């Protein structure tokens, strides 16, 4: 079965200049066809992203230049796909009961606070995130995962990039898109998307060695959300394991593990047990070891004594983590199948 046809999210130049409703048909919209206008492509809004952000960070900081906020009107096809506030709730409920259990990178507390605020018009970055939440919960009905929702999400993500919009929510959506592509073997898009997530995370300044974060967290919930998002990028970079250097550096002993998932979801830090290993923290530990295994396998000094000793140490560490994972799973009634599988890759 052929994939659904691509539909741009922006009106053509002629309809936009004459303030007419555009059906965005290709190669020309219906109105342009009826009056025999030449083909004119969609016209994106101007990109107001400050180039000095990349060209000279010191000047960007000193001048306190603002990054554009994602508050532009939504394209009609995106509004139709995500529906109204009631539908956002339904999509969120499905996401947090499924995808969120194995990739908890969106703050449940902050997300619901935003979409339940009746005074706010849905921002374009949140609209993209809602659309992608719906995408990753898709149950295959055909052999081709490039559904209309997938194509719309990819197109809308590109539109926001062209408009110069940058936010954590856009990166969260990009990560979920990359996982969708990886899970459904949509290549080379999956590989390209993973690298884009790395670059985007570094631009936001949420990577561990970042010196200048674009947005400082307001609370520990926000800080943990940023940390979880970067852990997700690192996980993406390692689970593909193609014959290429990793784009992200290995976590160090100083790299903070994600907090307990339940406490984070509720937005209440539990001082009596602040470092209880939740599912995502266990996955992060597995990722830490996976990076070391990848480097060990790619090494060329197989006959070296240290290489053999390192293999034994890694094997012991992985077995120990499997035991800890099973213990934590039984003690706290957690599903730890993903974490255990990563230790066996």
307, 315 in Cβ contact below 8 A?
no
Burial of 2 (0-12, 13-18, 19+ CB in 10 A): exposed
DSSP string, 297-337: HH-S-TT-HHHHHHHHHHHHHHHHHHHHHHHHHHHTT---H
Report if residue 37 sits inside a domain: no
CA distances from 165 to 67, 142, 161, 238, 252 (A): 8, 34, 6, 27, 31
Residue 206 resides in a domain: yes
What is the full per-residue pLDDT of the chain (345 aa) written as tens digits?
Answer: 444 444 555 667 667 666 677 776 655 677 666 655 544 445 576 777 777 777 766 777 677 667 777 777 888 999 999 999 999 999 999 999 999 988 999 999 999 999 988 666 789 999 999 999 999 998 877 778 898 999 999 999 999 998 888 999 999 999 999 999 998 889 889 989 999 999 999 989 898 887 766 666 677 888 899 999 999 999 999 887 666 778 888 888 888 888 888 888 888 776 655 556 678 888 888 888 777 677 766 666 666 766 666 666 666 666 666 666 665 555 555 554 555 555 455
pTM (2 d.p.): 0.76
- Say whether the peptide bond before residue 188 is cis (omega within 30 degrees of 0): yes
Q: 102-111 as b/e, with b when 16 or more CB fall inside 10 Å? A: ebbbbbbebb
Q: Is residue 121 assigned to a domain?
A: yes
> Whole-angstrom Cα distance, residue 37 to residue 197?
40
Q: Is residue 298 part of a domain?
A: no
What is the per-residue pLDDT for 247? 87
pLDDT of the residue at 29: 72
End-to-end CA distance of the chain: 33
Is 236 contained in some domain? yes
260, 276 in Cβ contact below 8 A? yes
3-state secondary structure of 15: helix
Our count of domains for the chain comes to 1
Q: Are 34 and 4 in contact (CB under 8 A)?
A: no
At 248, give phi and psi (nearest 5°). -115, 145
Sign of the C-alpha dihedral computed for residues 95, 101, 107 and 110 taken in this order: positive
147 and 4 Cβ atoms separated by less than 8 Å: yes
Chain centre to alpha carbon of residue 65: 26
- Could you tell me if 231 and 342 are in contact, meaning their C-beta atoms sit under 8 angstroms apart? no
The pLDDT of residue 232: 95
Residue 295: inside a domain? no
Please name the residues in contact with 330: beta carbons below 8 A apart, sequence gap of 6 or more: none
Give the orientation angle of helix 279-298 with respect to helix 220-239, to 10 degrees: 40
* 193 within a domain of the structure (yes/no): yes
Q: Please give the C-alpha separations between residue 312 and each of 275, 321, 334, in angstroms, as whole numbers.
A: 28, 14, 29
pLDDT of residue 6: 45
Burial, 196: exposed, middle or buried (Cβ in 10 Å; 0-12, 13-18, 19+)?
A: middle
Q: Where in the sequence is the domain holding 219, given as residue range(s)?
A: 44-276
Instruction: In whole angstroms, give the CA distance from residue 33 to residue 23.
Output: 11
Q: What is the pLDDT of residues 221-231, one digit of tens each?
A: 888 999 999 99
């Amino acid at each position: 079965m052929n994939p659904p046809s691509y539909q741009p999210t922006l009106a053509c130049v002629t309809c936009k200049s004459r303030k007419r409703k555009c059906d965005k048909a290709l190669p020309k919209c219906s109105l342009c066809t009826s009056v025999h206008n030449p083909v004119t492509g969609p016209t994106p809004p101007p990109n107001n992203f400050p180039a000095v952000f990349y060209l000279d960070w010191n000047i960007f900081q000193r001048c306190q230049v603002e990054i554009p906020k994602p508050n532009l009107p939504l394209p009609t096809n995106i509004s139709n796909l995500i529906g109204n506030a009631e539908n956002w709730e339904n999509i969120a409920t499905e996401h947090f009961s499924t995808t969120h259990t194995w990739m908890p990178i969106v703050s449940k507390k902050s997300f619901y606070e935003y979409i339940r605020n009746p005074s706010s018009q849905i921002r374009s970055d949140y609209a993209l995130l809602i659309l992608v939440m719906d995408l990753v919960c898709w149950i295959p009905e055909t052999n081709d995962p490039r559904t209309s929702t997938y194509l719309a999400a990819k197109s809308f993500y590109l539109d926001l990039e062209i408009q110069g919009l940058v936010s954590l929510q856009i990166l969260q959506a990009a990560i979920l898109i990359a996982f969708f592509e990886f899970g459904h073997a949509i290549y080379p898009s999956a590989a390209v998307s993973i690298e884009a997530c790395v670059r985007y995370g570094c631009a936001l300044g949420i990577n561990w060695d970042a010196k200048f974060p674009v947005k400082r967290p307001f609370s520990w919930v926000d800080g943990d959300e940023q940390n979880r998002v970067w852990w997700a990028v690192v996980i993406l970079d390692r689970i593909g394991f193609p014959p290429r250097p990793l784009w992200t550096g290995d976590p160090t002993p100083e790299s903070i593990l994600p907090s307990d998932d339940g406490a984070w979801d509720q937005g209440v830090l539990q001082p009596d047990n602040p470092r209880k290993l939740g599912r995502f923290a266990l996955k992060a530990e597995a990722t830490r070891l996976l990076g070391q295994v990848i480097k060990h396998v790619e090494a060329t000094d197989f006959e070296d004594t240290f290489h053999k000793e390192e293999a034994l140490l890694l094997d012991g560490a992985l077995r120990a983590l499997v035991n800890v994972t099973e213990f934590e799973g039984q003690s706290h009634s957690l599903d730890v199948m993903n974490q255990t599988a990563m230790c066996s890759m």
